[in-house]
Structure 1
Amino acid sequence: MFIPFLWLTFGLILLIKGADWLVEGATVLAKKFNVSDLAIGLTIVAFGTSAPELVVNVMGSIEGHHEIVFANVIGSNNFNLLVILGISGLITPLVVQSSTVWKEIPFSLFAAVLLFFLANDLWLPGSYTVSRFDGFIFLAFFVGFLFYVYKQLSSDPSEIQTENKSYTQLKIWGFIIVGLAGLVLGGRLVVNNAIQIATVLGVSEKIIGLTIIAAGTSLPACHFNSSGYAQEC
């Protein structure tokens, strides 16, 4: 029991640092090609900080551990909304823009409602699955949301600011390669040892996914949010 927990912790550390290194290297590389701060924030930072959840869920899906997949997605969203916003609100009052209240928050609610209906399978009542077709539906709405965010930020004169750093090509690609390796290895360790812990404790994989995995894979986004990047936290 103690050894799997240590490996799980090490896997989460690799996921967090892997995302950190990947974003670091990719951001500096993009700056060398004169990519705007806006584009970097919308692509590299946004996707990089979600990479731990993506890696864990892809591995869990391939290996057939569907409870971990759903628990990680739901648990991460709950962790971001309830824990991170709760702690932030305790520290200082948070000013919310009207566009967030009337546009972004309803879209998040819509995403949750869409998952509810698709998981209950609108096409085959009584079946509880998210099919490949449902996956295409989710991705289509995500592309639409990215376009909306891009249009919103394009009309906003303030841009996401990234720190200019001077790295050699070797160091840049070192960050990217090591970051990707950390994500893959960390994801494998997290999934395998989470299953072992669930088996030893006699609890479902869903419980582990809703708690330890969800909190751990959410930390990179919180780190970059505190560093000045606009993220889901």
Structure 2
Amino acid sequence: MDYLFVAIGLVGLFLGGDALVRGAVGVAQRLAMPPLLIGLTVVGFGTSMPELLVSVQAALGGVPALAIGNIVGSNLGNILLITGISALIWPIRVSGGTLGRDTAFMVAATLALVPLFWMGWIGRPAGAALVIGLIIYLVISYRTSQDTDTVEEDAGGTLWKSLVWLAFGFAVLLVGARLLVDGSVNIARSFGVSEAFIGLTIVAIGTSLPELATSLAAAIKKHSEIAIGNIVGSNIFNLLGILGATAVVAPIPVETRFLTFDLPVLIAATLVLTGLLLWRPLIGRWIGAALLASYAVYIVMAQ
């Protein structure tokens, strides 16, 4: 039954991702909103919902390593795995005027984990501070969104139709992610894999599949701004919103391995992605292949 859950979850995630991109592009056009902002907010938040559900349940269930691993692993998967695959499908070119601000928020949110992990404990005050940081980011994004370019392609249909696609995509993504994660965790535990490793790999990849499906669908449709905006936005939501909300619900102890190994890798990957987005006009297929190779190396070393 667990293998069936995994199969159904995969199908649901890809169907939901396609519906989410279709709805996001439609809403962006109808409301004259820039595609990068849609990817950073609407799509980024929607595809981060599985991480929120899994992390909160893990923290409440007494498996904090799974919660932390899910967030750190998801962000690594977003940067190395999803960006790599998206670039292989269609080279990423982003010219949004707010990209520097958004990547700065992503870097700052990642570096904020250093003192939290060093203390070995993320309590409710720290969690609340992270959530406040996310609110500040969203307010700034909203106020500056009118200064960027809007979607040019006609998505077709009405605003309500686009909203229905968004809602359908969210629902299918959530159900698919839940089935996939539940099945994957049960299978992994049957082989005696540690909870930290499960969180960093199996669960992280499972909850990142909405981002993968959404970014792949955007890449295929040649909406690179939606694809990269989804990745950057999802990372910000994961670090500030998901980790913050999880700590508010249930304070999280942090294992030493996250500070000494996984977090440094995440910081390095975040800085590499930021450099690529800010100083390269195009992230081509060779870079995408290098990112995928780096992710494979990390998975081997994370055991």
**1:165 and 2:161 are equivalent in the alignment:** no
Q: Could you tell me how far 1:202 is from its partner in structure 2?
A: 0.8
Distance 1:92 1:22 in 2: 19
Distance 1:104 1:175, change over 3 A: closer
**TM-score scaled by length of structure 2:** 0.56
Q: Could you tell me how far 1:5 is from its partner in structure 2?
A: 3.7
Aligned residue in 2 for 1:186: 176
Q: Could you tell me how far 1:203 is from its partner in structure 2?
A: 0.9
Unaligned segments of structure 1, at least 5 residues: 122-127
Aligned residue in 1 for 2:230: 231
Distance 2:66 2:152 in 1: 35
Identity %: 31
Distance 1:225 1:214, change over 3 A: farther
Q: Could you tell me how far 1:103 is from its partner in structure 2?
A: 4.7
| Partner SS, residue 122 of structure 2 | coil
Distance 1:170 1:139 in 2: 31
**TM-score scaled by length of structure 1:** 0.70
**1:149 and 2:141 are equivalent in the alignment:** yes
Could you report, residue by residue, the CA deviation over 1:137-186 in whole angstroms, capped at 9, with x for unpaired residues?
Answer: 11111222223334444323x1245643326969964872x545434433
Distance 2:159 2:92 in 1: 39
Distance 1:191 1:149 in 2: 31
Give 1:134's aligned amino acid. Answer: A
Distance 1:96 1:22 in 2: 20
Q: Could you tell me how far 1:23 is from its partner in structure 2?
A: 5.9
Give 1:60's aligned amino acid. Answer: A
Q: Could you tell me how far 1:92 is from its partner in structure 2?
A: 8.3
**1:209 and 2:208 are equivalent in the alignment:** no
Distance 1:19 1:47, change over 3 A: farther
Question: Would the aligned equivalents of 2:78 and 2:231 in 1 still touch at CA under 8 Å?
Answer: yes
Give 2:179's aligned amino acid. Answer: L
Could you report, residue by residue, the CA deviation over 1:10-46 in whole angstroms, capped at 9, with x for unpaired residues?
Answer: 2243244335445645775x579x5333375554333
Work out the number of aligned pairs and report it.
Answer: 221
Question: Would the aligned equivalents of 2:33 and 2:145 in 1 still touch at CA under 8 Å?
Answer: no
Aligned residue in 1 for 2:285: none
Tell me which of 116, 121, 130 is aligned to 1:129.
121
| Partner SS, residue 142 of structure 1 | helix
- Max radius of gyration: which structure? 1
Distance 2:86 2:25 in 1: 27
Distance 1:20 1:138, change over 3 A: farther
- Which shows bigger deviation, 11-20 or 105-114? 11-20
Could you report, residue by residue, the CA deviation over 1:66-103 in whole angstroms, capped at 9, with x for unpaired residues?
Answer: 33322221112112222344456678886787x88965
Unaligned segments of structure 2, at least 5 residues: 233-303
Aligned residue in 1 for 2:58: 60
Aligned residue in 1 for 2:186: 196
Pairs within 5 Å for 1:30-49: 30=27, 34-38=30-34, 40-41=38-39, 43-49=41-47
Q: Which has the higher helix share?
A: 2
Distance 1:5 1:172 in 2: 33
Distance 1:8 1:206, change over 3 A: farther
